[in-house]
Structure 1
């Protein structure tokens, strides 16, 4: 009897519709970093992470917006640590963001914690984006920062010499860390040379003093040897009372 009652009660419980169940599962699914970036760029075309406060100035977003506005075309910028972006690098994020947003313009992704920087243009008036991207990488040190990279990129795009600057790019300037390390190495080498000179000078002086001491000692021993030899010869030739030599 109890089994029948329980079965009747269960039969009265409404079964959720398939659509409602799907909605519940969708809400339960965690939002990926890519989805978060896309949602942010739909709201504001310039997104600056709050996960790298030490690597970005307080006015980072404002400076980037001011810079890309000079391009004269739509621009979408995501400044985010790629380590948080589901393992994608900046070169991978750009097409992903464009595919989801589906809007023409210049797409820029910069990592504030590394020198990684990628810019691609989709549709619209053709700008020397690729040349400017590579020229930016050659003109700035690896620790220049995302804001400086975007500002230099825009400046090169608008310079009219993006290709020439890319081709003229030499070795990348040294980072502040590399400059500090090189200065430390030079200081260490200078200190080592100074210590070696001091050691060599001290060795030369002590060696000279030791040589002088050895010469004096040798001279003293030579004089004593000669004196002993003279005494020996004197004893070997005794003189008689008459002044002649004693005959044997």
Structure 2
């Protein structure tokens, strides 16, 4: 009996001392975000996160796919939050991680679903595109709340325009966001309402002052007509009486 227990204990010690197989170790390690996105990009070169449905239009993936197809080179797009990457380092770029896992040449784009943040880079290929200038120009020419499909569509237009650097270095005035437009419209409505209120108040004041003005005018005119008679009576009282004739 003791020999059996001894065999079991020794067997457990041997198993603990031996390293786990590679397959078991891989299963034990959690899948990183880069691994997950790279696996999705192998199936479809445009990956759109499903964690931001309100920030993206329903046809976001279709619009992005149609836009990058015009570049004429392989393109891989990941629309995903750009904070907190797989390595745990916030300053780590996701682009080289995806390139390292896919090992495919082409244009790599990582874009945020709810903010202007993003990055673009080209790996390999004989046709070089002004991607960084085009991305910077697109960010400068769109409002802050422009959707990610709008940003990528404009980016592709600028990259193919032949004026990417010129537009990046000479940006036009940034359009107003929808929030800013709504606030400006509210301010304009408030100003119109204030003008109307002041107009009504001023008109009411003017109308209420008309009877008072008429009364004051009437009293003044009446006082003016009475004043000469009073003055004439006073003069007559002050005038000395002439002595009667024949009296000495």
> Do they superpose with TM above 0.5?
yes
SS of alignment partner, residue 15 of structure 2: coil
* 2:37 is the alignment partner of 1:30: no
Once the two structures are overlaid, the 10-residue window that deviates more, 102-111 or 89-98, is: 89-98
Counterpart of 2:185 in structure 1 is: 183
Counterpart of 1:203 in structure 2 is: 205
Shift of 1:6: 4.9
**1:50-199 pair list within 5 angstroms:** 50-83=50-83, 85=85, 92-124=93-125, 125-199=127-201
**Could you list the per-position Cα deviations for residues 182-201 of structure 1 after superposition, in whole angstroms to 9, with x for gaps in the alignment?**
11221111111211222222
**Could you list the per-position Cα deviations for residues 207-237 of structure 1 after superposition, in whole angstroms to 9, with x for gaps in the alignment?**
44444445556778x69x98xx99xx9xxxx
Q: Contact (CA 8 Å) 1:90, 1:116: kept in 2 or not?
A: no
Could you say if the C-alpha distance between residues 111 and 6 of structure 1 is closer, same or farther in structure 2, counting changes exceeding 3 Å?
same
Q: Once superposed, what is the RMSD of the aligned Cα atoms?
A: 3.9
Shift of 1:180: 2.0
Unpaired stretches in structure 2, ≥5 consecutive residues: 235-248
Q: Contact (CA 8 Å) 1:76, 1:108: kept in 2 or not?
A: yes
**Could you list the per-position Cα deviations for residues 102-159 of structure 1 after superposition, in whole angstroms to 9, with x for gaps in the alignment?**
4432211111212223222233322111221122122322232111221221121112
**TM-score between both structures, scaled by the size of structure 1:** 0.73
SS of alignment partner, residue 171 of structure 1: coil
Q: Contact (CA 8 Å) 1:82, 1:88: kept in 2 or not?
A: no
SS of alignment partner, residue 57 of structure 1: coil
| Partner Cα distance (2:220, 2:22) in 1 | 107
Shift of 1:79: 0.8
| Partner Cα distance (1:77, 1:126) in 2 | 18
Counterpart of 1:244 in structure 2 is: none
**TM-score between both structures, scaled by the size of structure 2:** 0.73
Shift of 1:84: 6.5
Q: Contact (CA 8 Å) 1:136, 1:156: kept in 2 or not?
A: yes
Q: Contact (CA 8 Å) 2:85, 2:92: kept in 1 or not?
A: no
SS of alignment partner, residue 151 of structure 2: helix
Q: Contact (CA 8 Å) 1:90, 1:118: kept in 2 or not?
A: no
Equivalences, count = 233
Q: Contact (CA 8 Å) 1:90, 1:109: kept in 2 or not?
A: no
| Partner Cα distance (2:197, 2:43) in 1 | 64
Shift of 1:89: 7.5
Once the two structures are overlaid, the 10-residue window that deviates more, 163-172 or 69-78, is: 163-172
Q: Contact (CA 8 Å) 1:104, 1:123: kept in 2 or not?
A: yes
SS of alignment partner, residue 15 of structure 1: helix
